[in-house]
Amino acid sequence: MKGPALYSLLLAILVASPLTCCVSATTAAENPVQNKEPISAKHIRAKLGERVTLEHGIDANTPLQEALELLSSQLQLPIIIDTKAFEEIQIQKVEDWPVRLPKMKEMRVRTVLSMLLKQIKGDNWTGTFMVRDDHLEVTTNYHALSEILGGELGRLFQDGVGLPPLDAQGNPVKQGSTGHPRAILAIVHADFENRPLYEAVKELGDIARLNVIIDPRVAEKAKAPVTATLNNVLIDTAMKVVLDMGGLKVVRLDNVFYVTTPENARAIESEPRPKGLDIPGVRWEGPAPPPPFGAGK
């Protein structure tokens, strides 16, 4: 083959080759998660513990929806906003709420999400997230706690000294009563499979940002393997369940969870609380929940 015919053939090859490359690259980009397992609650819980870097952060006054789309794309994680939940705590058009994040390096995904969603504030309640079967749901901590406790928000408080409990309508009792809040209201998500008990409770403490101290007298029991799936669980419940597998108990002392024997836990809990916690004349001004769902409709 000579002359014009050979030249035409070479030209056709040169022109067609880049086009073929681009088509292949485009197809791969449109299907970034081919041959991967479907997203599940377990997958999402694991993703929350991974580390992420935001080289440029998120600019001030970025709408929440735009910020979440950025994170969703980077994390390959579906995120859905429950706008009705925010409307029920008097936040309208939450997707347009201005948010920001600083530059971050190697931060846990759950930490980034918490920092972002706590910027969404009503009069008393803030944004948070819940793990669902196939997505992460952005909601309010009022609705999250209400779901976890079956709508009985009065269970957040129990008899004792210090802060008063909630009344039947879920409003804080401001005068004439005593009580103290249930252990810290962090919501945790974790999976343990044949993990040493002491590792499991330390991880739960890290997730909830609490101190966990293990009584050296229970060191052997704390090595017992535990298996558990914890999805949208209050930290105190999670600790009690995991420790019960090893025949141990936890005592909450301010922001410390002390792991010890059941007998020692009872002895510590029976000790009188310092009188300094009872401050005469101080009134409880804690958060009051919004009206019951559907009220006024």
- The whole model's pTM is what? 0.73
Sheet holding 249-253, edge to edge: 211-214, 256-260, 249-253
Report how far residue 133's alpha carbon sits from residue 113's, in angstroms, rounded to the nearest whole number. Answer: 18
Domain 41-147: CATH architecture, name and number where available: 3-Layer(bab) Sandwich (3.55)
What CATH number does the domain located at 187-273 have?
Answer: 3.55.50.30
Q: Kindly report, residue by residue over 242-296, the tens digit of the pLDDT.
A: 999 999 999 998 889 999 999 999 999 998 866 544 444 444 444 555 555 444 4
Asked if residue 77 lies in contact with residue 50, where contact means CB atoms within 8 angstroms, the answer is no
Q: Kindly report, residue by residue over 23-76, the tens digit of the pLDDT.
A: 223 223 333 444 467 899 999 999 999 999 999 999 999 999 999 999 999 999
Q: How many CB atoms lie within 10 A of CB 62?
A: 18
Look at the alpha carbons of 229, 232, 233, 234 in this order and tell me if their dihedral is positive or negative: positive
pLDDT at 254: 84
Domain with CATH 3.55.50.30 in the chain: 187-273
Asked if residue 180 lies in contact with residue 163, where contact means CB atoms within 8 angstroms, the answer is yes
Q: Which residues of 165-191 are buried (b: 16+ CB within 10 A; e: fewer)?
A: bbeeebebbeeeeebbbbbeebbbbbb
Q: What is the identity of the amino acid at 62?
A: T
pLDDT at 38: 83
pLDDT at 2: 53
